[in-house]
Amino acid sequence: MIKKHPLSAAILLALSSFYLTGCENDDYAALNCSPGTAIEGVTNCASENRAVLGTGSDELEEPTPQTGYENKGGVTGQVLAVNYWADGEICFDTNQNGACDSASEPVEKIWPEGQFSFTADAVSSSIDNNIQLLALSKNGSGIPAALYAPTPVSNASDKIYVTPFTTLVVSETRFNPNVLSDTEAARIALRSGEPSIGNETALAGNDYLTNGETQTAANAAILAASLAQAQKLSPEKHFQATASVLDQIYRSGELATTITLNNINAQEPLGDSISATFNTPPLSWPLGHEEEISVSLDVGNGLALVGSLYHNRLSVIDTSTDTLTRLGVGDFAASAVERDEIDAVTGASEQALRQVALTSDGVNAIVAVEKYKKSSGERGVGLYRANLSQPSVVPAKLFAEDVNNTTDYFAFPGLNDFALSADDSKIVLAGEDKRLVALTNQTFSIDQNIAFNSKIRAVGIDATGRHAFAALFGARTGLSTVDLSTGDETGFLATGSQYPEKITTFANSSRLAFYLRKGKTLSIYDITNPALPQLINQLESTEKIKTFAFSEDGKLALLGSVGGIVELYALDGGVRLIKTLSTEKDSEGAGIPVNDLAFIDDTRALISFKNGIQLLNIEVIPPKQWSDADKQQWFDDHRKAL
């Protein structure tokens, strides 16, 4: 059964002429189109490197312009200072850059009377990730004034007021190590300080203009003037400008302040202190052939598995300590003769390792083999299972042995990519022959065999094995969501002329990430509703991305490039680049290309390169672990009375 796209009933009509009623012939043999057939033929409608939901038409349908305030049922409230704001925009500042980025963040207009309203779906992930509200308004000179408010309790919270008082609460949670990330502690500190900044109601956020709170409104006007003066000095650093106002209030004992650029530049937002260093030297091994290069890496249960192109070599490495040890090595495409003597019949030189995955117990490895070149035969192309119950003994495997499917081999001539669910129950395969196949891992038996009229270049699967995500290239280019219980396509995200190169889902199934072929941007989506991915973050690399990985807790990300650049990002509470590292230089002074990345745990990661592997140690120190002496020093530097 083909399901209607959830966005519009018109999609079904637009696609009716594209149903696959049978199998087609092209560069490959006829397709097996059972049991499910995917909807196909939506015209791409996104610019390159941008992803939008396909609408089933050649052009995006322009939304009806909003001409006035509408309550959209999600987070709703007002922005006010001396008066209600009458213009500007408000957003959840996901990347904490101090701007509202409509491409990757929930953004709404501020209407007269300071009113704003978000839809609940648009802000759900922002609430879950404790993202704060940012309101921006342009004054007469065109310099933006900024006000903030803490994260609302839910995605349907109403009567959220963004004021100078809530702005100072947010500032304290970012800059004061004594109350960092603790909104209630920040309110108490501001209320009990000298001078006292706002009462309990004002600091929680209220409409003091309507309530007739004369003194609160007067204090708000003084604070607004102080904030405006500071923010005008350095609009791009309005977070630091706001923090400098609060410091000056406590130093002078007055709400009215005059700030200098030196005051602003002395401010440093406080987050987790994160450092990253390579554990030297790397573990490396000799190359027996120029193509004996590492192409895939996976980790689990104290082991790392490295797959190399030449003869499909598998290396098992002990990662239980910081001293990496190569436990075993074997040629999974073993042959009794030298490489140059291997022909198309014996097969080993005709095929190439594509990808490896370790099962969660570390006992089995799943090995994907693709065609070595377009003219290669199909013998041995597909999935192998290798038993690693004895890590020092990697079993050999002859390509020529396998033609028919078994519990340890699945033939798939068009193999481009595969993904193993976190619970090890399901495997999905991406086919150049326009098929997405879902297997039961234990037996390699087919659960779904779904035909598309686009090539499938990459694939991902959620932790439960319920939904697959396919990177399509051809009649459609983008990300398709498939319900594996029914074989139905439930959603599609167009990505312009480039397809998703690699698709990864987070361990908790609520996030998905990919980068586009030839792209420098890693996009992270909320897939709480798998059919409607919501863009929540984008990470920009300095070079074209080759691979990426996330820590198990989802707080760190690594990006690797062919130029040997490794970039570490923190994702918790917003995106920030922590450190850029380079691999060792080759004989010509260029960085050795990164082949793959994987996190061993939340503080250790592996970087795979041509003929070895490097351990990256990551240390995370939350600011609340500061010593009392360090906190006192911060107080003396920032708050001690003049």
- Look at residue 444 in the predicted model and tell me its pLDDT: 96
* 578 pLDDT more than 90: no
HSE on the CB side for 514, CA within 13 Å? 30
Question: What average pLDDT does the chain have?
Answer: 82
Strand order in the sheet with 435-440: 36-37, 445-451, 435-440, 426-431, 415-420
* 327 pLDDT more than 80: yes
Look at 12-26, 249-263, 554-568 and tell me which has the smallest mean pLDDT: 12-26
- pLDDT tens for each residue of 265-279: 888 888 767 889 998
Helices (H), 253-389: 261-265
Classify the C-alpha dihedral 449-450-454-457 as positive or negative.
negative
Residue 392 corresponds to which tokens in the numbers above? 């020092």
Rounded to whole angstroms, how far apart are CA atoms 18 and 283? Answer: 52
What Å distances lie between residue 303 and 280, 312, 358, 394, CA to CA? 19, 18, 9, 13
Residue 576 corresponds to which tokens in the numbers above? 């920030």
Contact 156, 73 (CB under 8 A): yes
Residue 449 corresponds to which tokens in the numbers above? 């065999």
- Look at residue 31 in the predicted model and tell me its pLDDT: 32
DSSP secondary structure, 237-251, as one string: GHHHHHHHHHHHHHH
| Highest-scoring range by mean pLDDT, 124-128, 280-284, 414-418, 631-635 | 414-418
- Look at residue 373 in the predicted model and tell me its pLDDT: 74
At 181, is the secondary structure helix, strand, or coil?
A: coil
* 158 pLDDT more than 70: yes
Place of tokens 């998905």: 512
Phi-psi region of 260 (alpha: psi -120 to 50; beta: other; left: phi over 0): beta
**CB count in 10 Å sphere of residue 268:** 10
- Look at residue 624 in the predicted model and tell me its pLDDT: 63
- Look at residue 49 in the predicted model and tell me its pLDDT: 35
CATH number of 1-26+48-56+414-540: 2.130.10.10
- pLDDT tens for each residue of 477-510: 999 999 999 999 999 999 999 999 999 998 766 8
Contacts of 361 (CB under 8 A, 6+ apart): 300, 301, 424
Residue 126 corresponds to which tokens in the numbers above? 């922002």
Contacts of 571 (CB under 8 A, 6+ apart): 524, 537, 550, 554, 555, 556, 557
Across residues 604-614, what is the average pLDDT? Answer: 93
* 7 pLDDT more than 60: no
- Look at residue 628 in the predicted model and tell me its pLDDT: 86
**CB count in 10 Å sphere of residue 340:** 7
* 556 pLDDT more than 80: yes
Rounded to whole angstroms, how far apart are CA atoms 460 and 427? Answer: 9
Provide the residue ranges of all domains of the chain, joining segments of one domain with +: 1-26+48-56+414-540, 76-265
Residue 241 corresponds to which tokens in the numbers above? 């400008």
Look at 134-148, 405-419, 536-550 and tell me which has the smallest mean pLDDT: 134-148
At 318, is the secondary structure helix, strand, or coil?
A: strand
- Look at residue 487 in the predicted model and tell me its pLDDT: 95
Q: 401, 301, 305, 283: which is closest to 357 by C-alpha?
A: 305
In the chain, what's the furthest Cα-to-Cα distance? 92
Q: 415, 291, 315, 290: which is closest to 365 by C-alpha?
A: 315
- pLDDT tens for each residue of 454-470: 999 999 999 889 999 99
Residue 152 corresponds to which tokens in the numbers above? 């609302």
Look at 20-24, 253-257, 635-639 and tell me which has the smallest mean pLDDT: 20-24
Contacts of 595 (CB under 8 A, 6+ apart): 293, 294, 295, 296, 297, 546, 547, 560, 608, 609, 610
Cα-flanking dihedrals φ and ψ of residue 201, to 5°? -70, -45
> CA torsion 136→140→141→142, rounded to 10°?
30
Strand order in the sheet with 596-601: 273-284, 612-621, 604-609, 596-601
* 114 pLDDT more than 60: yes
Burial of 208 (0-12, 13-18, 19+ CB in 10 A): buried
**CB count in 10 Å sphere of residue 401:** 11
* 378 pLDDT more than 60: yes
Residue 262 corresponds to which tokens in the numbers above? 């030196």
- Look at residue 398 in the predicted model and tell me its pLDDT: 64
- Look at residue 324 in the predicted model and tell me its pLDDT: 94
Kindly indicate the confidence band of residue 38, based on its pLDDT and cuts at 50, 70 and 90.
very low
* 4 pLDDT more than 60: no
- Look at residue 304 in the predicted model and tell me its pLDDT: 95
**CB count in 10 Å sphere of residue 14:** 19
Contact 577, 569 (CB under 8 A): yes
* 240 pLDDT more than 90: yes
- Look at residue 67 in the predicted model and tell me its pLDDT: 83
Classify the C-alpha dihedral 68-73-74-78 as positive or negative.
positive
Kindly indicate the confidence band of residue 21, based on its pLDDT and cuts at 50, 70 and 90.
very low
* 20 pLDDT more than 50: no
- Look at residue 60 in the predicted model and tell me its pLDDT: 41
